[in-house]
Chain A
């Protein structure tokens, strides 16, 4: 019985952890090309979810809402890149940290005023009945999260490896200056990465909303865990985020049961601080040599 409870908690936690992994993957995309991340990514998740909900409310069918929401997320990503990141990158400063925080604050306030401060349910076409696997209940929504996360990550990785544009993306990630000398526009590639990252954030919002409901603060706790996942795994760890995301999610599920739900974020946060102290490049990241 006890083992069953642990299994149940770990599995639901790990599936939830996939959402953190997906947002963390969005950080990786922009970090690869520009060594920057959007500190307001949680607001992108939230605003895109609200936008998708509005689409559904206006009678847009579910199948069209998803691409609509993704496109909206991509647009927001591009907006963040243009207003918050590009200038700082041109000046080689870390001003993007502040600017993306500021943009997040703006999006948050705008969402609060446009859609209200209350949490709202997000409809889903999936049935409520859970699936039983080895005595563990898995809801259909949780399965859809897993499918969605792996589908988009797989697609983007294929895109990076198989298309010319994707190879340009990899080239800029490997060496920005060399790529520019080969005639690849680094600015455009950074734009592309922010667009993709925005779309990924939007998908995370659409996948998680039926579980968590939609509200202005829906992503504030989630984003912290996504940061943890990205950093513990390493900002250039590729699929490492999936493993760490599932691990952290399971840990959180168990912690909330055994220590108390108020403490559920504590293990992840301590892990983050420790991981940063011991291995700043992350568990799966590449350690570089200090050069002078």
Chain B
């Protein structure tokens, strides 16, 4: 309660204050700054979707601002549209072009994504500059702000309009980003492969996130056009992009407050610099802050020496420069660069991330309480297992160049069975799993699930058809909590359409998802870790979390890729108990394992691979005595019944 009161209270206070300022201050210059602040607030909230949630360096946002601004401007001057229709067109232009750009950019990560979006910015500048018949080219485009419902908007009225829109965007984005959508965006950032393998869909979420962020960019562009009433292509270039990007990072990623603070800094900075006294005070304060936090970090050994020293040096340069240089405004970019450098190195989570942590400690805000877990039978209903053929592989091959990783494998997994898949290192076990789960398309061969052909070469479609898998090299969503890792994969809970989510009317399913996910964490013995970030869990718990997340898919067939690898002995025993309990629910499993004791204890049937082919199949005891198996593991036929010693 206290938590909600604080959060919503602070939001309400900021908006009330923002809306009330023009009543007290009549200065048109100050009003212009406030209007720009509201517009940039919307812009940066949009940028934060890709930069913060999707975790990509997006250098194309400024292009959407420009294209939105020009779209609104052309709607007004050419077609005489009203204010809201023009804004709508601006936002739609952003959504459409953002979605289009996301398509080629889909396969790209990190620097390549940054480059693709950077080219888009340059391209759209060329377009705006050269399409003179439409945009007026370098001459610019003049427009007059259209009236709102027949009334001419005063600057103050326009400011209120922007503020209301900012509040609306803020609230709906908070609803959206705290729903399954926000979790899916973050999941995509941490592991695109797992996002597909968990049936969440990397493709549509990447397009959606990019289109959404770009749409907000376009909306902000429309407002920008109405604010300045004059547009030039030169306004929307790389320079502004860098400043916007840095505004988000400075304010703090993945935070609406961060975007707002970032926008304030971007808007107010030029004014801070023009006043010498203010500049010296700000830089001095920054220097002391860097010195204090650096010293603290060094003494507590929480930061590396470079992280502690570099901000101090940068802020020191700022102070010294402020004393030496005559006109600080000329050095605007360098000053911005130094401040940003200090924040990026010293406070990676941004100003608001830092402040939020400090405030949580200060007010002792307790995290939101967890609901009671759902009944496991409701989350993971028992199903009938009749031993019929469930997954059939026939003459499956997968070659990589000349390497025949899987070379003509046939096997049948029956419903309700635990089917072991063993073999020495390099025998092709993991490749089989990767082909079944859709990571690689098979070179040839057939796969049938419940008698119907299984989708090949698509993790997402394989997941949709009822498979779930874990990964030998963990693919958890590291930044999400254990609870969120399970929630994001949960199948069959999220049904509300986007408009309801935006309006915050989908809280019911959110509560249910939380309770269901807790039930699964409880099954894996992770209930007490629900709030811990996945990357902070112990290695063993991370392995169990992978299983819990796969179970959230409510699969018919669960593929466990070396779940016991690296586990301590007590954890192995715990794993065996858990697999038994999953088995009791009637879920078929493929178990890849090196621990022979685990395999012997659990599996009904074991298939042994070597060199990509099946060399034996049968009950664990039969397989252990099979001469070919012994040879594969020990290199030569041993004396009769020697048990294989896995590598």
**What's the count of A-B pairs with C-beta under 8 Å?**
130
Which partner residue on chain A sits nearest B127 by CB separation?
A266
Verify A266–B123 contact, CB threshold 8 A. yes
B643 at interface, CB cutoff 8 A: no
Most buried by A among B57, B115, B331, B400: B115
Are B130 and A260 interface neighbours, CB within 8 A?
A: yes
> Which residues from chain B contact A37 at a C-beta distance below 8 Å?
111
Indicate if the CB atoms of A105 and B242 lie closer than 8 Å: yes
Are B345 and A99 neighbours in the complex by a CB distance under 8 Å? yes
- Asked if B389 is at the interface of the complex by the 8 Å CB criterion, the answer is no
- The proximity string for B residues 48-66 relative to A, scoring 1 for CB distances below 8 Å and 0 otherwise, is 0000000001000000000
**Chain A contact residue count (CB 8 A cutoff):** 44
Against A, the Cβ 8 Å flags (1 = close, 0 = not) of B328-340 are 0011111111101
Q: Kindly list chain A residues whose C-beta atoms are within 8 Å of the C-beta of B105.
A: 273, 276-277
Interface string of B265-301 (1 = CB under 8 A from A): 0000000000000000000000000000000000000
Looking across the interface, which residue of chain A has its beta carbon closest to that of B472? Answer: A292
Known: A103-B341, A106-B333, A109-B333. A231 touches B112 (CB 8 A): yes
Q: Does A170 contact B (CB under 8 A)?
A: no
> A262 contacts the other chain (Cβ, under 8 Å)?
yes
Chain A residue numbers with a CB within 8 Å of B119 are 224, 227-228, 269, 272-273
B589: shortest Cβ distance to chain A, in Å? 19
Q: Does A67 belong to the interface (CB within 8 Å)?
A: no
- Flag if A263 contacts B348 (CB, 8 Å): no
Within 8 A of B (CB), among A220-266: 220, 224, 227-228, 231, 260, 262-263, 265-266
Stretch at the interface among A4-12, A50-58, A82-90, A194-202: A82-90
User: Quick check: is A138 within 8 A (CB to CB) of the other chain?
Assistant: no
Question: B336 touches which one: A105, A262, A274 (CB < 8 A)?
Answer: A105
Known: A265-B122, A292-B475. A105 touches B334 (CB 8 A): yes
Do the beta carbons of B242 and A262 come within 8 Å of each other? no
CA A273 to CA B106, docked complex, whole Å: 11
Chain B residues near A220: list those with CB within 8 A.
Answer: 238
Does A290 sit at the interface, judged by CB under 8 A? yes
Chain B residues near A290 (CB-CB < 8 A): 193, 439
Q: How far is the CB of A92 from chain B (nearest CB, A)?
A: 12
Expressed in whole angstroms, the Cα–Cα distance for A256 and B337 within the complex equals 35
Query: Contacting B126 at CB < 8 Å: which of A98, A109, A263?
Result: A263
Given contacts A101-B245, A272-B115, list 8 more A-B pairs with CB under 8 A: A83-B310, A87-B307, A95-B344, A97-B114, A102-B340, A231-B115, A273-B101, A276-B112
Interface residues of B (CB under 8 A from A): 57, 101, 103-108, 110-112, 114-116, 118-120, 122-123, 126, 129-130, 193, 238, 242, 245-246, 249, 304, 306-307, 310, 325, 330-338, 340-341, 344-345, 348, 400, 430, 434, 439, 471-473, 475
Q: Which residues of A contact B (CB under 8 A)?
A: 36-37, 39, 83, 86-87, 90, 94-95, 97-99, 101-103, 105-106, 108-110, 112-113, 220, 224, 227-228, 231, 260, 262-263, 265-266, 269-270, 272-274, 276-277, 280, 289-292
